[in-house]
Amino acid sequence: MDVEKKGKARDERRTESGIEVKPLYRPEDLGESFDYSERLNDPGEYPYTRGVYPSMYRGRPWTMRQYAGFGTARETNERFKYLTKAGQTGLSVAFDLPTQMGRDSDHPLSLGEVGKVGVAIDSLLDMRELFDGIPLKDVSTSMTINATASILLLLYSLVAEEQGAEAKDVTGTTQNDILKEYLARGTYIYPPAPSMRVTTDMFAYCARELPRWNTISISGYHIREAGSTAVQELAFTLSNAIAYVEAATEAGLEVEEFAPRLSFFFNAHNDLFQEVAKYRAARRMWAKIMKDRFGATDERSMRLRFHTQTAGSSLTAQQAENNIVRTTVQALSAILGGTQSLHTNAFDEALALPTEKSAGIALRTQQILANEAALTDTADPLAGSYYVESLTDAVEEEAWGYIKQIDEMGGSVKAIEQRFMQREIEDAAYRYQREVEREDRVIVGVNRYASDDDPEMDLHTVDESIQEKQVDRLRQLRDDRDSSAVEKALADLKRAAEGSDNLLYPMKEALGNLATLGEVSDTLREVYGQYRP
């Protein structure tokens, strides 16, 4: 290779998705087919590239949600009250692993996991305590829960009813995205087909009973955390969304009946401009999918509304305070990309659950961006940038290529069963790690500018007696409740699972009679079995 070619190779820049980045962008880089009238429609106009609402943050800033959950319901309740007092505008709940897997705290496989990565919720008693003193008619709550999403939603609605809230006032989101669990995360219970049945039953239930609840947050976040590129995150998320819409329509639901309550959940990573392009492309692609593929006519069905969380996988244990800067850049990308709500990670999360101090700094990061950086003054401030528009087109083009491949395989479920998406993510994660090891990709404080004198930090610790407390609480609950009413309700749930009735009505009856999360999940396990990859 001659000197000139070597120089060009060294100077070549690409995003982590492999999209070439030119030294300079000019109008001709938008391509001859670039149509300003279509691509740069006003925010709130199809295909929503510039935002789903006309005024965006000038009308109202994004919702600030700080993800919280650990230990017992009482401890998490105290953290919620601390965050809302500090100015948080929406609640976001993390559940422990047994709760995510449909196991009670006294199950043998729950040993050592109760309350560790989120709050332990075994029954209605725990849910009451979690939201004690928090008026559910006035707050919007997001719950990061998938396999047991229907159970947690029903427990939440029962508490809201006990507080006197009307169904029309109950607002929030359940993640409820089971497909990405088989793809990237692993907290599934049942095989894919019955899992999709539970999901679509929840769509139908909420359409009738909880009209303002976002029934699903179709998640690219965990796909990205597993090692995917930004393009893969976008393509695989939209392919999964297509599968949910198809499943719901096959179950007899009309698109306009459930599509307005679909929402999305994306990752905000370090490449600021690529992330902005990803969010803009996502809106445009979803609008086209819903209009052209599913015949949607209601603009609410075509709007891609999304929550964003900064990238947990980007946080480093080394020089942990550098994570404050990483999180700020990532949050900036989400805001410039038009997110509807945002969670900023705490700087110590590579080491432990956040302390009150680190959670407070993470919230203040959003508040500074909202109040001091003039980011709320105008919608889509990067629109018209030769670079951003070109990158938006490139991300969209590559994402359509993946969706076409997945369609040819028969859709997301088939592609997951064939491990197509899993292999693509694994390959991308391997390439990224090799780049870090070769120092082709610089991680400050890790492979460059490292130091041996990281300061000592106060870290959050979880009370090891939590499991014992939860087991005692379960024992007391089973002694005090009406066992015959629980048995009857669980029998009704089993019959519904064996037939075609909506599962959530008998499920709610059982939970209202103090059936536990594990008992409800076990009833469905009897009928559907447990998935083994």
| DSSP structure string for 253-284 | --HHHHGGGEEEEEEE-S-HHHHHHHHHHHHH
**Is residue 222 assigned to a domain?**
yes
Tokens for 417?
């069963």
| Phi (first) and psi of residue 216, to 5 degrees | -155, 145
What is the domain count for the chain? 2
Kind and range of the H or E element at 433? helix 420-437
> Does residue 273 form part of some domain?
yes
Q: Does residue 204 share a domain with residue 70?
A: yes
Q: CA 210: distance to chain centroid?
A: 20
- Please state, in angstroms and rounded to a whole number, the distance separating the CA atoms of residues 250 and 514: 33
Between the CA of residue 75 and those of 63, 107, 117, 138, what are the distances in Å?
Answer: 23, 22, 13, 21
State whether 202 and 283 are in the same domain: yes
Stated pTM of the model: 0.90
Measured between its terminal Cα atoms, the distance across the chain in Å is 47
Label residues 315-327 b or e (16+ Cβ within 10 Å = b).
bbebbbebbbebb
Residues 223 and 365 in one domain: yes
> Could you give the 3-state DSSP secondary structure of residue 163?
coil
Do 270 and 189 fall within a single domain? Answer: yes
Q: Same domain, yes or no, for 474 and 361? A: no
Angle separating helix axes 192-209 and 504-512, nearest 10 degrees: 80
Same domain, 415 and 509: no
Residue 70 has a CB neighbour count (10 Å cut-off) of: 23
Statement to judge: residues 299 and 400 lie in one domain? yes
* Whether residue 521 sits in one domain with residue 400: no
Instruction: State the helix-helix crossing angle for 192-209 and 149-162, rounded to 10 degrees.
Output: 20
Q: Are 126 and 118 in contact (CB under 8 A)?
A: no
pLDDT at 447: 95
Taking a C-beta distance cutoff of 8 angstroms, is the pair 508, 154 a contact?
yes
310: helix, strand or coil = strand
The Cα–Cα gap between 201 and 219 comes to 19
pLDDT at 1: 47
Parent domain of 151 = 62-437
What sign has the CA pseudo-torsion 467, 469, 470, 476? positive
75 within some domain: yes
Question: What pLDDT was estimated at residue 10?
Answer: 59
Residue 256's domain is classified under what CATH number?
A: 3.20.20.240
Q: pLDDT in tens for each of the 533 residues of the chain? A: 454 554 455 578 999 999 999 999 999 898 877 777 767 899 999 999 999 999 999 989 999 987 778 888 999 999 899 888 988 878 889 999 999 999 999 999 999 999 988 999 999 999 999 999 999 999 999 999 999 999 999 999 999 999 999 998 999 999 999 999 998 889 999 999 999 999 999 999 999 999 999 999 999 999 999 999 999 999 999 999 999 999 999 989 999 999 999 999 999 999 999 999 999 999 999 999 999 999 999 999 999 999 999 999 999 999 999 999 999 999 999 999 999 999 999 999 999 888 889 989 999 999 999 999 999 999 999 999 999 999 999 999 999 999 999 999 999 999 998 999 999 999 999 999 999 999 999 999 999 999 887 777 887 677 778 899 999 999 999 999 999 999 999 999 999 999 999 999 999 999 999 999 999 999 999 999 999 88
Spatial separation of the C-alpha atoms in residues 308 and 503, rounded to whole Å: 30
529 Cβ contact partners less than 8 Å away, ≥ 6 residues apart: 190, 191
CB atoms within 10 A of CB 137: 13
The two beta strands, 306-310 and 341-343, are: parallel
Please indicate, yes or no, if residue 384 is contained in any of the structural domains: yes
Q: Which amino acid is at 86?
A: A
User: Is the same domain home to 241 and 331?
Assistant: yes
Q: Is residue 54 part of a domain?
A: no
Residues 190, 118: one domain?
yes
Beta strand 171-174 with 306-310: parallel, antiparallel or unpaired? unpaired
HSE, CB side, 13 Å, CA atoms: give it for residue 163. 23
Alpha-carbon span 150 to 157, nearest angstrom: 11
Structure tokens at 386: 């030769």
456 found inside a domain: no
Q: Could you count the other beta carbons within 10 Å of the beta carbon of residue 57?
A: 18
In a shared domain, residues 422 and 491 = no
pLDDT for res 223: 97
β 13-14/20-21 pair status: antiparallel
In angstroms, the CA 462 to CA 392 distance is: 43
Residue 50 counted as domain residue: no
The answer to whether the Cα torsion of 216, 221, 226, 230 is positive or negative is positive
Say what the pLDDT of residue 83 is: 86
Are 264 and 324 part of one and the same domain? yes
The secondary structure element, H or E, covering residue 37 is: helix 36-39
The pair of structure tokens assigned to 276 is 């902005």
Q: In this structure, is residue 493 part of a structural domain?
A: yes
How much is the pLDDT for 32? 77
In three-state secondary structure terms, 157 is helix
